[in-house]
Amino acid sequence: MINNTYNYLLSDLKKLKGVGAKTYNILKKKKINNIFDLLWRLPKSFTDRSESTKIKNLKIGEIQTITLIPYKYNFPRIRNLPNKVYCKDDTGEMECIFFNSYEGYIKKILPLNKEVTVSGKIGQFRNKYQITNPKYVSEDASLIKNKHNKYSLTEGISEKVYNKIINQILTNLPILEEWHNNNIVTKFNNISWNKSIIELHKPENVGKYKSNFYKRLAYDEILSTFLVHSEIRKNIKKIKKQKKVFDLTFQKRIFSKLEFNLTNDQNKSLSEINFDLKSGQKMFRLLQGDVGSGKTIVALCAAANVVKSGFQVALMAPTEILARQHFNLANKIFDKSINLEILSSKTEYSKKKDITKKLKEKKIDIIFSTHSIFQKKIIFNKLGLIIIDEQHKFGVNQRKKLSDKGGDNCDILLMSATPIPRTLTMTIYGDMDLSIIREKPKLRKQVKTYSKPDSKIDEVLKFIQKEIKNENQIFWVCPLIEESKKLDHASAVQKYNFLKKKFPDKVDLLHGKTDTVEKDKILRNFLNQKTKILVSTTIIEVGIDFPNANIIIIENANKFGLSQLHQLRGRVGRGDKQSTCILMFKSSLTENAKKRLNILKSSTDGFKISEEDMKLRGFGDILGFKQSGIKIFKLADPIHHSDLFELAEKEIKYMEKNDIQLNRYKTLMKLYDQADVINDIV
């Protein structure tokens, strides 16, 4: 019977022959929950057992396949002596040796005077060829004389068992109805899903990511991801909300207080946001722009407009320092007609209670806080906009929850300062509308970037000395030691003590454990230029703005990813002075590390840097997406398959425009996106 439903693929692994409790648990631990999941563990290489060899031609040390006849057993029944089976062919003799095997088993697999095919590594003992504990033994030569896949996932599961499981699945693979239209399948030479999977598991096809079967499967994956995004986007758009009503008077008043004009991209993004706010559809938008591109002012204007239309706003930042900076800026550019408040984990209990009460009574218009406000049961009177700053680590599921959070009338604006390659933006943020600030504010000088080994620290100190004389300020970022926050802390303290001796009264230290009051003081002193050097762990990575700080020293720079270094470097060069970034490293650099530092030295374009980062480290690694629960593709690769991403994007746009229904893609989505988000879609 031809199996033509996908149910088989989604069924439990227990259904498979050869999957006992032990194997089942091993697979479960590897997050392989059903048959479909198993399809993506690909062979890494194979052992070729297909050619058979005569005994006289055997080569010691190699894996060989022999068809032979067992003619005598020797079961010594003495501890430590192995059982032996003497075998021959028409050219010579050899032995199969068994340690710890029962006689019954040996007799069963190697019956006397019958032709048997055996494959294994050839050894030699007292001038005789032998195979020890042969695993590949059968009277049916066709079962042995094959290419046997090697999988890297077989920890605790033998290669033989694993192959048996996979072969069983491939034999029972359902023939599914084609979900792509003709136009698409012809691009892959009409290869079906079923056929593609079979090709994928052929040992000789390992690594053929440019072949039709591979591309088809990669495309399946990309399209299904995009389809989910498209559905989420469409569903959010369907939500009717109360339109926000405001004119641009207040926005103009804010502009008049600024020392600069908005860039074209800032203006464009702000109008896109304003348009969404005024519309009857819920906004779900990402504002993407490199560090220092000026997203904050755009967000604050949008917030003010929402307040002017009678709603409250929640602005959340990843750190308290950043929340406070936004709060301070808002205090500066808004007049008294907008009530602002800041809530942090260290806000005193009575104050917290007061804030909660005021939010409920709508006596606070904009609340600034960290992301943690989410979890809290804070009740707003009339929440109209949630702004989340610097958040690239939200997965689709989290974003969807976020969108549900504020209720129908609440618009959502996410901001991300991580320029990423287009293929990734499509993949990661495809569910959102996008505003991009590419152009950086004019007058901004490029940050000069140098690299220096630790041994030349004296040169760096001399340079700093001079800069301090010129009234400049310095960030000193201490090594990031991922394994241990404690070590991060220790090295920052050490550097602080070292620098304090060289520059008395000019150095301060900021780290994860500094408490809010202290932090405030430290930041204020740095902002007022009382201190000149701020030693810190990577805490300054996100968003904080110190216009007078124009030098950043980054220790152990080779340990950071390119995009992260770029982010750190973005902490300087925010004013109009020339700024400098010095990348320090411990000893000699690897070629790859040199290459990476050179990219950073030669470019300040975040989008370009992230492309390079992706090429060097693979897309999963850049920006820590891996830890973030953001979908990682099984086969599709934003570097090798960028054409497929574009193809899928085009297809989705076409479908959206022509209102094409998803029915035909139901199976695709069921199989590829077993995540929560699609439960209410398909």
Written as one letter, the residue type at 526 is F
Nearest to ligand ADP of 543, 561 (CB atom): 543
Least separation, in Å, of the C-beta of 256 and Mg ion?
A: 22
Rounded Cα distance between 562 and 653, Å, is 33
Of 419 and 543, the one with the shorter C-beta distance to Mg ion is 543
CB of 550 to ligand ADP, least distance (A): 12
Choose between 543 and 638: whose C-beta lies nearer to Mg ion: 543
> DSSP secondary-structure letter at 240?
B
| CB closer to Mg ion out of 429 and 665 | 429
Give how many residues touch Mg ion by CB under 5 A.
1
Pairing of strands 83-89, 92-98: antiparallel
CB of 473 to ligand ADP, least distance (A): 14
List the single partner that 435 binds among Mg ion, ligand ADP, none, CB under 5 to 8 Å by kind. Answer: none
Smaller CB separation from ligand ADP, 64 or 369: 369
Report which of 69, 64, 67 is spatially closest to residue 49, judged by C-alpha positions.
64
From 274-282, 400-408, 511-519, 542-550, span contacting Mg ion (CB under 5 A): 542-550
- What does the alpha-carbon distance between residue 599 and residue 624 come to, in Å, rounded to a whole number? 19
| Residue 254's binding partner out of Mg ion, ligand ADP, none, with CB under 5 to 8 Å set by partner kind | none
d(CA 511, CA 650): 47
Selection from ligand ADP, Mg ion, none that 399 binds (CB < 5 to 8 A by kind) is none
Q: Does 134 bind Mg ion (CB under 5 A)?
A: no
Work out whether 543 is an interface residue with Mg ion (CB under 5 A). Answer: yes
Per CB under 5 A, 606 contacts Mg ion: no
Nearer to ligand ADP, 429 or 665 (CB): 429
Asked if 570 interacts with Mg ion (CB under 5 A), we say no
* Measured distance CA(288)–CA(559) in Å, rounded: 26
Note the residues at the interface with ligand ADP (CB under 6 A): 260, 262-263, 266, 289, 291-297, 417, 441, 543, 545, 547, 574
CA distances from 363 to 12, 341, 396 (A): 55, 10, 33
- Segment near Mg ion (CB under 5 A); pick from 258-266, 443-451, 540-548, 605-613: 540-548
Query: If you search the block for the tokens 């060989």, which residue do you land on?
Result: 64
Q: Which residue number has the CB closest to ligand ADP? A: 294
Q: Which is nearer to Mg ion, 329 or 378 (CB)?
A: 329
Give the C-alpha separation, 133 to 62, whole Å.
15
- Residues 533 and 508 sit within 8 Å (Cβ to Cβ): yes
Q: Is 294 in the site for Mg ion (CB under 5 A)?
A: no
DSSP 12: B
Shortest gap between Cβ of 389 and Mg ion (angstroms)? 6
Question: What is the spatial distance between Cα 628 and Cα 416, in angstroms, rounded to a whole number?
Answer: 15
Stretch that binds Mg ion, among 233-241, 428-436, 501-509, 535-543 (CB under 5 A): 535-543
What is the number of other CB atoms lying within 10 angstroms of the CB of residue 58? Answer: 19
297 binds, among ligand ADP, Mg ion, none (CB under 5 to 8 A by kind): ligand ADP
Q: Can you read off the two tokens belonging to residue 346? A: 């260290």
Backbone angles phi, psi at 437, to 5 degrees: -105, 105
User: Least CB distance from residue 300 to Mg ion, whole Å?
Assistant: 11
Compute CA distances 667 → 7, 180, 200, 240, whole Å: 10, 11, 20, 30
Binding partner at 370 among ligand ADP, Mg ion, none, C-beta below 5 to 8 Å by kind? none
Does residue 292 touch Mg ion according to CB under 5 A? Answer: no
Residue with tokens 């976020």: 402
Tell me how far, at minimum, the Cβ of 11 lies from Mg ion, in Å: 48
- We find the least distance from the C-beta atom of residue 347 to ligand ADP, in angstroms, to be 24
In the complex, minimum distance from the CB of residue 295 to Mg ion, in angstroms, rounded to a whole number: 5
Amino acid at 135: K
Shortest distance, CB of residue 474 to ligand ADP, whole angstroms? 18
Rounded Cα distance between 290 and 440, Å, is 8
In angstroms, the CA 567 to CA 292 distance is: 9
Provide, rounded to whole angstroms, the least separation between the CB of residue 466 and ligand ADP: 25
Which segment (68-76, 349-357, 397-405, 538-546) binds Mg ion by CB under 5 A?
538-546
Give the HSE-up count for residue 212: Cα atoms under 13 Å, Cβ half-sphere. 12
One-letter-per-residue 3-state SS of 295-316: HHHHHHHHHHHHHHCCCEEEEE
How are beta strands 411-416 and 383-388 bridged, if at all?
Answer: parallel
Query: Minimum CB separation from ligand ADP for residue 318, in Å?
Result: 12
Residue 296 or residue 391: which is nearer to ligand ADP going by CB? 296
Task: Kindly state whether residue 561 participates in binding Mg ion, applying the rule CB under 5 A.
Answer: no
Residue pair 6/173 in contact by the 8 Å Cβ criterion: no
Interface residue list for Mg ion (CB under 5 A): 543
